Amino acid sequence: MDSARERRFSHLPPGEGREKLARIADQAEQCRRTHRQQVTDFLEPYLRKAAQDLLRGTGGVPHAADGGYEGAERQRLVLLPDEEDWPDSRICWILAEPVGKGEKIGHRDYLGALLGLGIRREKVGDLKLTERGCAVVLDCDVARYVEAQWRQVRQSDLTIRVIDDGAVPAFIDEGEERTITVASLRLDALIAAIWHLSRSRADEAIGRGLLKVNGLEVTDGSKSADEGDILSLRGFGRAILRIVGGETKKGRIRLTVWQPADR
């Protein structure tokens, strides 16, 4: 990456994030030059925001975000030659359902089995559990390959079906919404309160690189969280900071947190 690009993405840690933004910058240029739509990979929230800031700052490239359903965490951007163009995000759903009743299969099991086929994570959006299995958002270019190759998760055989007509399958959003109070919005205080950890253990976990905020690894517990942030603490789970409320009589901040049941 040249020095000019390096400066543009200096707020991100070196490595994959900067490389992805550099590719998106190239796609923006290609979109302008060829007047044809360009579609990015699926992006985690912090990268999607950085990419949208980039597109607004490079001549204002029109774009649309799509993750297959409203509120999707991982989304891809469609870069448009003209604001009036209808975006084609090239998204399909795959329904994977175990044959018969047997072992309990979770989100991580489905994701591991899917990536075991050689699919790049960037071509996969969100995975959502259903009553009978799992629904997966995929790049349409790999959906048929997955349909042909994905036959098993753990010890269970699978039936696979592609949904490419724009319909959104019914999925389960199980979890728990809780109200907690914290002294501040510092990340170390937050994860201590959410996962019932001591502050020293929270600091240790953050220092070891176990915390991600919106998909980006964070090792500084003094940084503050914002409403809507998605916190992922390896070995403990995930939590979404839905509402930052007012202060209690004791001066603590009241928060509403959603913790998915299975990630």
Q: Final residue of a domain: which of 79, 101, 132? A: 79
> Which pLDDT value is given to residue 60?
83
- pLDDT tens-digit readout, 169-216: 999 887 899 999 999 999 999 999 999 999 999 999 999 999 999 999
Q: Is pLDDT at 95 greater than 70 in this prediction?
A: yes
Q: Is pLDDT at 234 greater than 80 in this prediction?
A: yes
State the pLDDT confidence band at 83, using cuts at 50, 70 and 90: confident
> Which among 198, 253, 195 is positioned nearest to 224, based on CA atoms?
253
Query: Which range, of 5-14, 66-75, 201-210, 229-238, averages the lowest pLDDT?
Result: 5-14
> Which pLDDT value is given to residue 8?
60
Please compute the mean of the pLDDT values over residues 218-241 and round it to a whole number: 94
- Name the pTM for this structure: 0.84
Cα–Cα distance, 172 to 260 (Å, whole number): 10
The angle at the Cα of 32, spanning 27 to 38, to the nearest 5 degrees, equals 40
- 111's CB contacts (< 8 A; 6+ apart) are 124, 127
State the pLDDT confidence band at 100, using cuts at 50, 70 and 90: confident
Percent of the chain with pLDDT over 70: 92
Do residues 209 and 154 both lie within one domain? no
Contact between 78 and 64 (Cβ < 8 Å): yes
> Which pLDDT value is given to residue 4?
56
Cα–Cα distance, 32 to 46 (Å, whole number): 25
Query: Is 234 a domain residue?
Result: yes
What's the number of domains the chain is made of? 3
> Which pLDDT value is given to residue 104?
84
Percent of the chain with pLDDT over 90: 78
Token pair 């042909």 in the structure block, residue: 148
What CATH number did the domain enclosing 45 receive?
Answer: 3.30.1370.160
Do residues 150 and 186 both lie within one domain? no
Query: Is 23 a domain residue?
Result: yes
Q: Final residue of a domain: which of 79, 105, 120? A: 79
- 167's CB contacts (< 8 A; 6+ apart) are 93
Query: Is 168 a domain residue?
Result: no
Contact between 76 and 125 (Cβ < 8 Å): yes
Q: Is pLDDT at 2 greater than 60 in this prediction?
A: no
Q: Is pLDDT at 10 greater than 70 in this prediction?
A: no
Token pair 């800031």 in the structure block, residue: 53
Averaged pLDDT of the chain: 90
> Which pLDDT value is given to residue 59?
72
Query: Is 84 a domain residue?
Result: no
Please compute the mean of the pLDDT values over residues 217-245 and round it to a whole number: 94
In the structure encoding, which two tokens stand for residue 141, read together?
Answer: 């270019």
> Which pLDDT value is given to residue 5?
54
- What DSSP character marks residue 127? E
Three-state DSSP class for 223? coil
Cα–Cα distance, 143 to 150 (Å, whole number): 10
Do residues 158 and 195 both lie within one domain? no
Host domain of residue 30: 3-79
- pLDDT tens-digit readout, 137-154: 999 999 999 999 999 999
Query: Which range, of 75-89, 100-114, 194-208, 210-224, averages the lowest pLDDT?
Result: 100-114
- pLDDT tens-digit readout, 13-61: 566 688 899 999 999 999 999 999 999 999 999 999 999 999 988 678 9
Beta bridge partners, 78, equal: 39, 64
> Which pLDDT value is given to residue 184?
94
Cα–Cα distance, 121 to 42 (Å, whole number): 8
> Which pLDDT value is given to residue 263?
45
Amino acid, single-letter form, for residue 169: P
